[in-house]
Amino acid sequence: MKKKVDPRLPSGFRDYLPEEMIVREQMLDTIRDVFKTFGFLPLETSIIEREEVLTGGDPDFKKQIFGVGIKGQKEKLALRFDLTVPLARVVATRRNELHQPFKRYEMGKTWRGERAQAGRFKEFLQCDADIVGSESAASDAEILALVYEVIHALEVPRFLIHVNSRKILNGLSVFAGFPESKTHHVLRAIDKLDKQGWASVAKELEESEGGKLSKTAIKKIKEFLDSAKARAPLVAIKELLAGSPISREGVKEIELIGKHLEALGVPESAWVFDPSIARGLGYYTGMVFETILLAAPEFGSVCSGGRYDGLVSSFSSMSVPAVGMSVGLDRLFSALTKLKQVPSLGKRAETIVLNFDPQTEYECETLATELRRAGIATDFYYGGEKTLKGQLAYAAKANYHVVLILGSEERKKGLVQIKDMRRHSQENVPLREVSETIRRLCIESG
């Protein structure tokens, strides 16, 4: 006897059943509509890239990516780990075909070989929007305003956008007194603050091969991070890093972004300056941000991004400024599920035509077709239950709103029996009035 194969999914991957997918699709539709409202255009990139493109040719590239093995393959290929690097590749190779500033959005799956945990998967769906070709603080602010509008449109309860600048962080070496060459390591450590706490970050800064900072430097970094607790954190940072020109530039940019956000209608309560936000990816050059659900902070950022002016130059001699954002749909969906904020929408088709009478089966199929062509999502019963009672029980269990019955008796009278399953009522209507009656029932039920 052939051995049965274990059907378990590998760790970090998951399936979504129809009830979940209906909600996810509606979330995607909402996000897409907001992107379009802001004038962003769709783009689709390959899920497979040359490994060198993803790593930037960096031999010390730390992110775990999924390689793609093909028999006889010579060049190394891998699955994309985000949608930003593929965008930069497209801009570098197709610049003459893109009118800049180029505002694009893309929704697609990405893969990272990281440890799976709450809301974090190895395969996840990202919804990105980017502005390429503008170095203006106004474009930074528009990305943040886009984040606000997307999260607001999704009716996500109580969220806060944490904003910082890599330029501010780049001046930290002067303030804390450590070699500038260790800045990247320091920022990677700081990026773990919200997940691991200060004790873990300090230990990494003191003991890691890439860091090994002095206790004095670590103490100064702690002072810098504690400025977030000040009544006016941006003012506190301005004073702390007054000796760093690059940090002063970053402070001015955050101040300017704040003015643009006010003009764009983003309330002050929706965002905060947070000097601990670093973002782990090394390609960020300016404003960076993370969006936290206040009722579920353990899920981390559900929407993040920032400015990355040097990424396109990794692939060409061009210097192209860019800024963008990304919604992690799977993480957001997981968080909302835990908070019980995901609506239970049941089936997309609220209407079903039963099929219990062999004498009227063809008429029932015709009825379902006419309703679909009239714009009413309609299901048709194909199951094994042959009785009217059994099919009605199925319809009730599957949460259909409207059930249509067209048996031999109804056909003789030229009528269709319409059952409103929510109100537990029924009425017989002529065939020509079925679609109007269904629309009325759906409107009345809200």
pLDDT in tens, 333-345: 999 999 988 865 5
pLDDT at 119: 67
Lowest mean per-residue pLDDT among 30-34, 140-144, 442-446: 442-446
Coarse DSSP helix, strand, coil percentages of the chain, rounded to the nearest 5 percent? 45, 20, 35
Q: Tell me the CATH class for 351-444.
A: alpha beta
Closest residue by Cα to residue 415 from 425, 423, 427, 424: 427
> pLDDT at residue 347 above 70?
no
**CA end-to-end span of the chain, whole Å?**
55
Give residue 203's pLDDT. 86
What's the whole-number average pLDDT of the chain?
Answer: 90
pLDDT band at residue 102 under the 50/70/90 scheme: very high
**Rounded to an integer, what distance in angstroms lies between the CA atom of residue 90 and that of residue 291?**
27
Pairing state between β 102-111 and 123-132: antiparallel
Q: Tell me which residue has tokens 């800049």.
A: 100
Q: Point out the least confidently predicted range of 220-224, 283-287, 433-437, 442-446.
A: 442-446
CA-closest candidate to residue 31, choices 101, 108, 85, 83 = 108
Residue 159, beta-bridge partner list: 293
Mean pLDDT is lowest, of 73-82, 258-267, 405-414, for 73-82
pTM: 0.87
C-alpha–C-alpha distance, residues 295 and 276, integer Å? 20
Give the SS3 label for residue 286: coil
User: CATH 3.30.930.10 residue ranges in the chain?
Assistant: 18-171+244-338
pLDDT at position 374: 92
pLDDT score at 211: 61
Residues facing 106 on adjacent strands = 128
Q: How would CATH label the architecture of 18-171+244-338?
A: 2-Layer Sandwich (3.30)
> 369 has which bridge partners?
none
Which residues lie closer than 8 Å to 119 by C-beta, 6 or more apart?
299, 300, 330, 331, 334, 335
How far apart, in whole angstroms, are the C-alpha atoms of residue 95 and residue 132? 10
pLDDT in tens, 170-213: 988 888 888 888 888 888 888 888 778 888 888 888 876 656 78
CATH 3.40.50.800 domain range(s) in the chain: 351-444
Pairing of strands 301-307, 322-328: antiparallel
Q: Give the 3-state DSSP-derived string for 85-149, with helices as H, strands as E and coil as C.
A: HHHHHHHHHHHHHCCCCEEEEEEEEEECCCCCECCECCEEEEEEEEEECCCCHHHHHHHHHHHHH
Decide: 298 and 185 in contact? Cβ < 8 Å. Answer: no
User: By CB neighbour count within 10 A (0-12 exposed, 13-18 middle, 19+ buried), where does 296 fall?
Assistant: buried
